[in-house]
Chain A
């Protein structure tokens, strides 16, 4: 057996040759060898008793995993519109010039790869990039040059961090330049709680009473969909099965969202407390924190917090001394796939598979992770849970608005003076938030990220709550200098890149919408395009299999609905016989160059 094979087999056996731990196995192999090569696929397949193509299928799905070697250092520039607005384009050009390569390439010495990646959760400190696991923020062309020089000198991205961020960003286990940018604290999430305080209160009640409290508080899921948490827990509790799971969805990938980053950095105890309470309530002994790959830099801190809680008897066996109550949490690291924020995709990923969503029914509450009843909740939801148990459901339900009790964290970025995280009671008018963040000359606000809706000033009086402007928390502000059609094109590019490709409408429809928007941007729009786009968007929305495709047409639909002049202003009635999309000069340009003479019929 070669040394390579031995090492790969050791990695597999460290995960008990369990193919459902494929994500961990391939990530470990890649960490060791730089990629998951064809040879590695064969060894892993044989060790965990599956087929090579199954392993390959998983590896090929995630953008942070690779079958071909990349540079020892991978620079991933954030391609989000907010980063572009903050000046990412010249930064990207500076990186290219300094490295002597184009985006997507690796330096000839194999040292550094340069590529784009979608929103890395740093929109409040854009332009930002990931360099291996290290986050670099507030980039400029000068910084790009310094970064390349330092990487060439030391080969160590950690050396790029000179000034540490605030709070736990400066923790020895984190040592990051990231700033929390907490701008407004509220009583529910961004507040202290002595570890164990809420958990002890929960354990003094019966599980059914805990669920009753969550229902009394009328807590709804904070990820955006707003499903009543107590009901989800009740379904999971009542579902048949000895083994049940609690999963925390910390895969916040919605462009413009970063509030979970702050919770994970500063309030991990609150989150884990909420998970433990959930475990007790539904009868689960195992929990998983699905951490997006972009937040890998927080993993050592989170593992540390988990260990401290274990040592304090807040996790593990006989929690808080209560006999028979058992709950522990493992961290599952993602690898760059937005769709894994969809709860059934997230479960697929936890099971070591491609991040394809699953067919529903059955719902995760009946058959989730490994076929067991599973409750998947948002990071912020678990924080609310802990607070509700500590302060009481009545206290919680008093905050916020009637249909949306409690507070909500908003990740605010884009054209505003004070981007960052804001905790408001639900029901706050959008106008109040815009005033507080120092947004002036506002043309449009993307509420809930690209999968939400883009609204204009006529909607600024509306309230941020489930029954009006619902949002998972992403608020991106665009001032009047921004080209909204361009923004929509960027968001569509994002969905095209992130579609899992399982179902027809999402896989093909998003490509077709992007193509049409790009043509309109290039001045080749036709009056019929609005109807064309509407029909396409409605088909994708209606027939897609999961939330990604059901919401990916929203940028197009809200542009048409709320900013009709943005598209119409770019569309001219066709002149002559040709369709606006057909440009005969463009169709001939390559041949003219190759043959070395201009067209006789369609001379320039």
Chain B
């Protein structure tokens, strides 16, 4: 089938749990393969976009500049962008640092933490390491997000039903039992 809609996925500051949930759709995964083609995604290990995508699924919030760059790419290449899971929507566990001053976070992580060995007492600053942001940002505070699928992780049904609705240009209307924040 030549014109299958393309779908991209990524995990920013997340735990890949939402991706596990994407894959947790049991035998429907065969239907999924029929329905879409994956572009940039950890599922097919494509590192960069190869073309325009109908839907982008974003797991995780933005905790560093690399997350921001990827999210920016997703917004650029995807018609519809979906925040998947608590971290993408509210920052999640990583956002627990948001009420701790940045310096305290870095000090604890790199200088003073109980398992840290850092005799020179410098923050890692190799250019290959993305710089962390002043705080963790939910995706919709960085770029425009069109839909949010709640859950930690969202139930496979929620992801599946949302994706199918979006690809068929139907309104997303999840049943009560499927909208959960945990």
Tell me if chain B binds chain A: yes
* B133 touching A591, Cβ below 8 Å: yes
Q: Is residue B76 within 8 Å, beta carbon to beta carbon, of the partner chain? A: yes
Which A residues are CB-close (under 8 A) to B131? 588, 591-592, 595, 599
Which A residues are CB-close (under 8 A) to B124? 595
* B65 touching A602, Cβ below 8 Å: yes
* A601 touching B65, Cβ below 8 Å: yes
**Number of residues on chain A facing chain B (CB within 8 A):** 22
* A579 touching B144, Cβ below 8 Å: yes
Encoded as 1 (CB less than 8 Å from any A CB) or 0, chain B from 125 to 146 comes to: 1010011111101000111100
Q: Is residue B72 within 8 Å, beta carbon to beta carbon, of the partner chain? A: yes
Q: How far is the CA of A594 from the CA of B111 in the complex (A)?
A: 13
Q: Is residue B181 within 8 Å, beta carbon to beta carbon, of the partner chain? A: no
Which A residues are CB-close (under 8 A) to B68? 584, 587, 601-602
Which B residues are CB-close (under 8 A) to A579? 141-144
| A582-B142, A599-B131 known; A590-B65 Cβ under 8 A | no
Which A residues are CB-close (under 8 A) to B141? 579, 581-582
| A578-B72, A601-B130, A602-B65 known; A591-B102 Cβ under 8 A | yes
Q: How far is the CA of A591 from the CA of B134 in the complex (A)?
A: 7
Q: Is residue B37 within 8 Å, beta carbon to beta carbon, of the partner chain? A: no
Q: Which residue of A lies closest to B65 (CB)?
A: A601
Checking B125, B134, B143 against A587 with a beta-carbon cut-off of 8 angstroms, the contacting residue is B134
* A589 touching B143, Cβ below 8 Å: no
* A594 touching B143, Cβ below 8 Å: no
Q: Is residue B69 within 8 Å, beta carbon to beta carbon, of the partner chain? A: yes
Expressed in whole angstroms, the minimum distance between the Cβ of A602 and any Cβ of chain B is 6
Q: How far is the CA of A601 from the CA of B69 in the complex (A)?
A: 8
Q: How far is the CA of A590 from the CA of B127 in the complex (A)?
A: 16
Q: How far is the CA of A592 from the CA of B131 in the complex (A)?
A: 7
Which A residues are CB-close (under 8 A) to B134? 586-591
Q: Which of A577, A584, A594 has the most CB of B within 10 A?
A: A577
Which A residues are CB-close (under 8 A) to B125? 595-597
Q: Which residue of B lies closest to A597 (CB)?
A: B125
Q: Is residue B174 within 8 Å, beta carbon to beta carbon, of the partner chain? A: no
| A582-B142, A588-B134 known; A577-B127 Cβ under 8 A | no
Q: How far is the CA of A598 from the CA of B125 in the complex (A)?
A: 10
Q: How large is the interface on B (under 10, 10 to 19, 20 to 34, 35 or more residues)?
A: 20 to 34
Expressed in whole angstroms, the minimum distance between the Cβ of A215 and any Cβ of chain B is 57
Expressed in whole angstroms, the minimum distance between the Cβ of A9 and any Cβ of chain B is 41
Q: How far is the CA of A254 from the CA of B41 in the complex (A)?
A: 58
Q: Which of B76, B102, B131, B141 has the most CB of A within 10 A?
A: B131
* A590 touching B143, Cβ below 8 Å: no
Q: How far is the CA of A586 from the CA of B103 in the complex (A)?
A: 16
Q: Is residue A1 within 8 Å, beta carbon to beta carbon, of the partner chain? A: no
| A578-B142, A579-B143, A602-B65 known; A590-B75 Cβ under 8 A | no
* B102 touching A577, Cβ below 8 Å: no
Q: Is residue A600 within 8 Å, beta carbon to beta carbon, of the partner chain? A: yes
Which A residues are CB-close (under 8 A) to B123? 594-596
Expressed in whole angstroms, the minimum distance between the Cβ of A574 and any Cβ of chain B is 8
Q: Is residue B106 within 8 Å, beta carbon to beta carbon, of the partner chain? A: yes
CB interface residues, B 74-131, toward A, < 8 Å = 75-76, 102-103, 106, 123-125, 127, 130-131
Which B residues are CB-close (under 8 A) to A602? 65, 68-69
* B133 touching A587, Cβ below 8 Å: yes
Q: Is residue B24 within 8 Å, beta carbon to beta carbon, of the partner chain? A: no
Expressed in whole angstroms, the minimum distance between the Cβ of A375 and any Cβ of chain B is 47
Expressed in whole angstroms, the minimum distance between the Cβ of B120 and any Cβ of chain A is 13
Expressed in whole angstroms, the minimum distance between the Cβ of B137 and any Cβ of chain A is 7
Which B residues are CB-close (under 8 A) to A584? 65, 68
Which B residues are CB-close (under 8 A) to A600? 65, 127
Q: Which residue of B lies closest to A602 (CB)?
A: B65
Which B residues are CB-close (under 8 A) to A577? 72, 75-76, 143
Q: Which of B66, B68, B127, B141 has the most CB of A within 10 A?
A: B68
Expressed in whole angstroms, the minimum distance between the Cβ of B80 and any Cβ of chain A is 14
Q: How far is the CA of A588 from the CA of B68 in the complex (A)?
A: 11
Expressed in whole angstroms, the minimum distance between the Cβ of B49 and any Cβ of chain A is 13
Encoded as 1 (CB less than 8 Å from any B CB) or 0, chain A from 150 to 171 comes to: 0000000000000000000000
Expressed in whole angstroms, the minimum distance between the Cβ of A532 and any Cβ of chain B is 13
Q: How far is the CA of A457 from the CA of B58 in the complex (A)?
A: 50
* A594 touching B103, Cβ below 8 Å: yes
Q: How far is the CA of A588 from the CA of B123 in the complex (A)?
A: 15
Q: How far is the CA of A10 from the CA of B124 in the complex (A)?
A: 62
Q: Which residue of A lies closest to B143 (CB)?
A: A577
Q: How far is the CA of A590 from the CA of B104 in the complex (A)?
A: 12
* A588 touching B65, Cβ below 8 Å: yes
CB interface residues, A 551-599, toward B, < 8 Å = 576-579, 581-582, 584, 586-592, 594-597, 599
Which A residues are CB-close (under 8 A) to B137? 582, 587
Q: How far is the CA of A592 from the CA of B123 in the complex (A)?
A: 11
Which B residues are CB-close (under 8 A) to A581? 141
* A588 touching B143, Cβ below 8 Å: no
Which B residues are CB-close (under 8 A) to A576? 72
Which B residues are CB-close (under 8 A) to A592? 131
Expressed in whole angstroms, the minimum distance between the Cβ of A593 and any Cβ of chain B is 10
Which A residues are CB-close (under 8 A) to B65? 584, 588, 599-602
Q: How far is the CA of A584 from the CA of B71 in the complex (A)?
A: 12
Q: Which of A591, A595, A601 has the most CB of B within 10 A?
A: A591
Expressed in whole angstroms, the minimum distance between the Cβ of B176 and any Cβ of chain A is 24
Expressed in whole angstroms, the minimum distance between the Cβ of B52 and any Cβ of chain A is 14
* B132 touching A591, Cβ below 8 Å: yes
Q: How far is the CA of A587 from the CA of B75 in the complex (A)?
A: 19
Which B residues are CB-close (under 8 A) to A599? 65, 131
Q: How far is the CA of A308 from the CA of B130 in the complex (A)?
A: 77
Checking A578, A582, A591, A597 against B127 with a beta-carbon cut-off of 8 angstroms, the contacting residue is A597
Q: Which residues of B contact A (CB under 8 A)?
A: 65-66, 68-69, 72, 75-76, 102-103, 106, 123-125, 127, 130-135, 137, 141-144
List, sorted by A's number, 30 A–B pairs whose CB atoms are closer than 8 Å: A576-B72, A578-B142, A579-B141, A579-B144, A582-B137, A582-B141, A582-B142, A584-B68, A586-B134, A587-B68, A587-B134, A588-B65, A588-B131, A589-B134, A591-B102, A591-B106, A591-B132, A591-B134, A592-B131, A594-B102, A594-B106, A595-B106, A595-B123, A595-B124, A596-B123, A596-B125, A597-B127, A599-B131, A601-B66, A601-B68
Q: 5 new A-B pairs (CB below 8 Å) besides A578-B72, A582-B141, A602-B65? A: A579-B144, A587-B134, A588-B133, A590-B103, A599-B65
Instruction: Give 8 nearest A-B pairs by CB, closest first.
Output: A577-B75, A587-B133, A591-B131, A595-B125, A577-B72, A582-B142, A601-B65, A595-B123
